Amino acid sequence: MTALSPRRILLTLAGPVLALLVAFVVTSLVLVAVGDPVGDVWSSLLSKPLPRQMVNIVNAASVFYLSAIAVAIGFRMNLFNIGVDGQYRVAVFAAAVFAGQAWLPGILNVIVAILIAILCGGLWAGIAAWLKVKRGVSEVISTIMLNAIATGLVSWLLGKVRDTSGSGSNVTNTKEIPDSSKLEGLALVPGAANKVYTLILLAAVVGFLYWFVLGKTRFGYDLRATGMSETAAVASGVKVPRMVVSAMLLSGGVAGLVGMPLLFGQDFSYGTTFQAGLGFSGIAIALLGRNNPVGIAFAALLWAYLEQQSNGLQIKADVSPELVNIIQGVILFAVVIAYELIRRADIRLEQARVARELAAQRGSAPVEEGAQA
């Protein structure tokens, strides 16, 4: 397998480009069928974002990125962690409760809270890992169940620990973190009043570690080998149950980080309005980015761009912003279908190439082989 032949680069890029085209066509067809203004919708969606909106896009992308990396860790070894949703919910709740107590000063409070989030996300994913290894329960089913259980559990606990010091009894969030622990943000985009989350650095670090650990270490090699061929991995001495547990714990730990940029950069507490459903976006983004740390970054930016630009749809084109979910869904379908078709085409081309080379070899040295046949 040559790493970067022109054919491979072309085939790799063909998928996402095709998917975007298909999404454009299908969405336009839906708009026409329903009778909405197609032109207004696209000019609104494709207009250049203002500096303030660019900041929002980068911020949303950093959160999506963490979620997608969490999912991708599982994907690399054939594990389907649908439970990122529940894992980050449990983790951010625990971190918010801890940070709200303000037992530690300033940045130390943030660091310990982040460690707690990693621990809680990992433990919640660990339940699914234990069930899979010890009881043979599919992680797909168990994580779906654990998502729902996390939702119920956290909303019950939130009722117990909600902040009652402030105004009235209808407060539905944890105690706000102290001012010294609020991260102010980075002024990366010129001309924007708002700032990029400081914890975007966390996303960058996680992305680097993902690339390094999975690509450059023995552990990562074993993990990928298990994902590609379990039997081959077992034959080379990999203990698959142990790998399942470590991969799931890692995935859950990263999932625990998903809520951190939001908690320390925007919400400052956990409440009923905390952004939900990030885990499912993560699945889509990981697939779109083909589990590649750079690819996922682009996919996360695309997702964030669409979400941000959808806000203007209602005003500019009188179309529900939910239209963006249709576009995202179609992109996802188109991209996985395109990857599947490309994979098959790739195999066919590879076979043809090998056959050609073999034929050429045979042509140059016509020995007894021909007689045998």
Partner 1 sequence: MSAAGLSVGVQTAPAAPPTKRRHLSPGRIALYAAGVVLVISVLRVVTGANDIASSGAIAAAIGLAVPIGLAGLGGLWSERAGVVNIGLEGMMILGTWGAAFCAIEWGAWAGIIGGIIGGVVGGVIHAVATVVFGVDHIVSGVALNIIGAGLAKYLAARFFTGMQGGGPTQSPPLPNLPTVSLPGISDALGELEQKHIFFISDLAGIIRGLVTNVSVLTIIAVLLFVATAWILWRSAFGLRLRSCGESPVAAESLGINVYKYKFLAVLVSGGLAGLGGGFLALVAANVYRDGQTGGRGYIGLAAMIFGNWRPGGLMAGAGLFGYTDAIQLRGGGATVHALLLLLAVLLLAIGIWQIVRNKRMVQGGLAIVTAVLTGIWYAVTETVPSELVGITPYLTTLLVLAFASQRLRMPAADGQVYRKGEGH
Q: Which residues of this chain interact with partner 1, rule CB under 8 A?
A: 30, 34, 36, 75, 77-80, 82, 131-133, 135-142, 144-146, 148-149, 151-153, 155-156, 159, 226, 230, 234, 240-241, 244, 280, 283-284, 287, 319-320, 322-326, 328-330, 332-333, 336-337, 340-341
Q: How far is the CB of 215 from partner 1 (least distance, A)?
A: 18
Q: Which is nearer to partner 1, 125 or 146 (CB)?
A: 146
Q: Which is nearer to partner 1, 151 or 266 (CB)?
A: 151
Q: How far is the CB of 170 from partner 1 (least distance, A)?
A: 17
352 Cα distance to chain centroid: 36
Q: Which is nearer to partner 1, 47 or 138 (CB)?
A: 138
Q: How far is the CB of 245 from partner 1 (least distance, A)?
A: 10
Handedness of CA 43, 49, 53, 55 (dihedral sign): positive
Q: Which is nearer to partner 1, 146 or 196 (CB)?
A: 146
The length of the chain, given as a count of residues: 373
User: Would you list the DSSP string of 131-193?
Assistant: HHHHH---HHHHHHHHHHHHHHHHHHHHHHH---SSSSS---BPPPPPGGG----B--STT-S
Q: Which is nearer to partner 1, 271 or 329 (CB)?
A: 329
Q: How far is the CB of 186 from partner 1 (least distance, A)?
A: 31
Q: How far is the CB of 94 from partner 1 (least distance, A)?
A: 17
268 CB-near residues (< 8 Å, 6+ apart): 176, 177, 182
Q: Are 291 and 72 in contact (CB under 8 A)?
A: yes
Helix pair angle (139-161, 106-135), 10° resolution:
140
Q: Which is nearer to partner 1, 269 or 291 (CB)?
A: 291
CB contact burial 201-238 (16+ within 10 A = b; e otherwise): ebbeebbeebeeebeeeeebebbbbbbeeeeebeeeeb
Q: Which is nearer to partner 1, 197 or 270 (CB)?
A: 270
User: Would you list the DSSP string of 348-361?
Assistant: HHHHHHHHHHHHHH
Alpha carbons within 13 A on the beta-carbon side of 337:
11
Q: Which is nearer to partner 1, 112 or 133 (CB)?
A: 133
CA distances from 281 to 141, 299, 347 (A): 18, 10, 30
Q: How far is the CB of 31 from partner 1 (least distance, A)?
A: 10
Q: Which is nearer to partner 1, 25 or 359 (CB)?
A: 25
Q: φ, ψ for residue 154 (rounded to 5)? A: -65, -40
CB contact burial 313-341 (16+ within 10 A = b; e otherwise): beebbebeeebbeebbebbbebbeebbee
Q: How far is the CB of 334 from partner 1 (least distance, A)?
A: 9
Q: How far is the CB of 25 from partner 1 (least distance, A)?
A: 15
Q: How far is the CB of 284 from partner 1 (least distance, A)?
A: 7
CA distances from 181 to 92, 110, 114, 198, 367 (A): 15, 6, 12, 12, 78
